[in-house]
Amino acid sequence: MSDQVVLKALEHGVLTLTLNRPDKLNAANDALLLGLTGALREAADDSAVRVVVITGAGRGFCAGQDLGEVGAREMGFAEHLRHTYNPLISTMRALEKPVITAVNGVAAGAGASLALAGDIRLWSSAVTFIEVFSNIALVPDSGSTWMLPRLVGYHKAFELMALAERVNAEEGLRLGLCERVFPAETFAEDVRAYAEQLAARPVRALGLTKRALNQALSSTLDEALENEAQAQQRAGEDPEHREGLAAFKEKRSARFKDV
């Protein structure tokens, strides 16, 4: 097994970042969290990267914080979050390229938060999702209190957090915790096909779309309308738009990767 805690592979415009601590169900330590954040920041500046996929090695996605490291660290809970998890989630949400969380197995605690933070969440049929924090008398963090109630409503979010209920893939799809569920046996291939399809789309327009959606979550309608107008101006001036129009007029598929 590689000693790298985050593996990187770029193919056909898709950067796959694999959490690589399979013996611990990819429980997060500082090296993993900082490595993942750094890889996402590099992806922002790499024009070859059109889509980012975050997944896990082995049978787990991310089992949350590696509790074996908690006692050894010198900083308190809040400082640790500000140093590791908070920058990671903020970087994912700010990256103006699609981020897919390909949840291949257990997603627990902060791993559940990471799973929710993708722009698109693809789940394996083998997924178990659990907001496990209350089992050790802690508060959900890494963005869960922001994301989960926006997906399922306050009351269901509180129940899932208070009782630390396990959610399987079928229930996760019903609740809106993921967009697609693929069979565990073909999950990697299905994710790759989906990601490559997304990578063929206009990446800069999608980045502006992501920015507008994020802004709209805390905007008034008038503010959202103005943000849309500004984003549309930028999109309309981009070569992607010219290619899309040309493809429409010529009755062919757009080749956004070429512009």
Tell me the per-residue pLDDT of 159-215, one tens digit each, with 9 for 90 and over: 999 999 999 999 999 999 999 999 999 999 999 999 999 999 999 999 999 999 999
Buried b (16+ CB within 10 A) or exposed e, 10-23: eeebbbbbbbbbee
- The CA-to-CA distance between both ends of the chain, in Å, stands at 39
Among 159, 157, 55, 167, residue whose Cα is nearest residue 114: 55
Q: What is the torsion angle, in degrees rounded to the nearest 10, for the CA atoms of residue 135, residue 55, residue 185 and residue 64?
A: -10
Band of residue 73 on the pLDDT scale cut at 50, 70, 90? low
We find that the CATH architecture of domain 6-199 is Alpha-Beta Complex (3.90)
Look up residue 9 and give its DSSP letter: E
Residue range(s) of every CATH 1.10.12.10 domain in the chain:
203-258
- Average confidence score pLDDT of the chain: 96
User: Tell me: domain 203-258, CATH 3.90.1170.40, correct?
Assistant: no
Residue 222 is which amino acid?
Answer: D
- Residue 157 CB burial class (10 angstroms; 0-12, 13-18, ≥19): buried
> How do residues 45-72 score in pLDDT, each as one tens digit?
999 999 999 999 999 999 999 988 776 6
Angle at CA of residue 167, ends 166 and 170, nearest 5° = 150
Question: Is 167 within 8 Å of 177 (Cβ atoms)?
Answer: yes
